[in-house]
Amino acid sequence: MLIVLLASALLGYVPNQYAGDIFKLGIAVAGAGFALFLIGYFDYESRGLRIGGPLGVFVLLMVFNPAKDVPEFLNEYLNKNFQACRENVQSQQYDVAEADYAKAAYDLPQSGTAMHWLALCQYHQERYNDAIATWKRALRLGYDPARTYYNIAFANFQLGRYEDAAKAGRSVVDGAADNIALRARAWFLIADAEFLLWDFGAGSDQNFINAKEAFQSFLEVGTPKYKAQAELACILAVKGELTTQSAEKDRYDSQAVAAFSAALSEISAYNKRNSKTERGSFADAFESKADRCGKALSELWKRKRPDESYDSLLIEVRA
């Protein structure tokens, strides 16, 4: 049986992570056999425990074995093989990289790093379900929980599973206390997911509240702010349209005007850093005829800022 295990390890039929343990066992058994043949008896004593004969040699070699242990093997494997895999990812050869990482995941079934990169290759090939399943395996192996939850959230968002995306995003927020940039990205993703669940009033009021709070949380820590400010203005403007109570309607309208004014100031301040294409995309997204957001904000401007042309503001953004 031992001969079969050794042959399997040498020929690559056994995952490499376990090869070291097989060689360790083989060396210990061989040493015990040699001791029996050569001297017939051997004593090993440690902490009051005395073991004699070939069994003593076996125990000694299992404890002080020259075979490489798993952590050392993992480090060598990662250093030698993952750089080539990453280069394939960077060159967008995701199918080639996936084959490499699939082998790495087989060889190193306890490596969360291997699972993460395999999932990344699956994600970039738009196999989002496969990517989510693989990232969950990485999670179980303890690989960077906050970042992995963010990847799971984003993959769920791509699949239109907005509730799952928001849930995973909150796991990021809870677990990334020291990573402000990742927390900001998670808040924005949660906000967009809740925004889509609210669906301009077709969803629940709780989705509106969640989206509003998530946008506000992003604005506390994230940059640039103009996209979040503009989307927050949109949901407030639409909520104002849907509200019949005058005091509440005025409150939403005022908040929407303030948020969109802040977005316009922010993107103007970023003009030197933002490309003309990006500014144009922003203006296109919020044109009065573009979608419900643009229409709601345009109508809001007519009511609250009658002396200021909404369309002219967007023309200035394009400049």
Q: What are the tens digits of pLDDT across the range 81-95?
A: 566 666 777 778 888
More confident residue, 51 or 252: 252
Of 148-157, 226-235, 282-291, minimum mean pLDDT range: 282-291
For residue 73, pLDDT beyond 70: no
What's the confidence (pLDDT) of residue 129?
97
Q: Read off the pLDDT of each residue in 126-153 and give the average, rounded to a whole number.
A: 96
Q: Which residues contact 227 (CB under 8 A, 6 or more apart)?
A: 188, 263, 282
Q: pTM for the full model?
A: 0.76
Structure confidence at residue 21 as a pLDDT band (50, 70, 90): low
Structure confidence at residue 40 as a pLDDT band (50, 70, 90): very low
Please determine, for residue 64, whether its predicted confidence score (pLDDT) is greater than 60.
no
Residue 273's pLDDT is: 65
pLDDT band (50, 70, 90) for residue 142 = very high
- Cis preceding-peptide flag for 306 (omega within 30 of 0): no
Burial 12-43 (b: 16+ CB within 10 A, else e): eebebbbbbbbbbbbbbbebbeebbeeeeebe
Mean pLDDT score, 232-254: 95
> How much is the mean pLDDT over the chain?
80
> And the tokens for 16?
């490499």
The stretch 308-313 carries a mean pLDDT of 92
Residues whose CB falls within 8 Å of the CB of residue 291, separated by 6 or more in sequence, listed in order: 285
d(CA 60, CA 175): 44
Q: Which residues pair with 260 in a beta bridge?
A: none
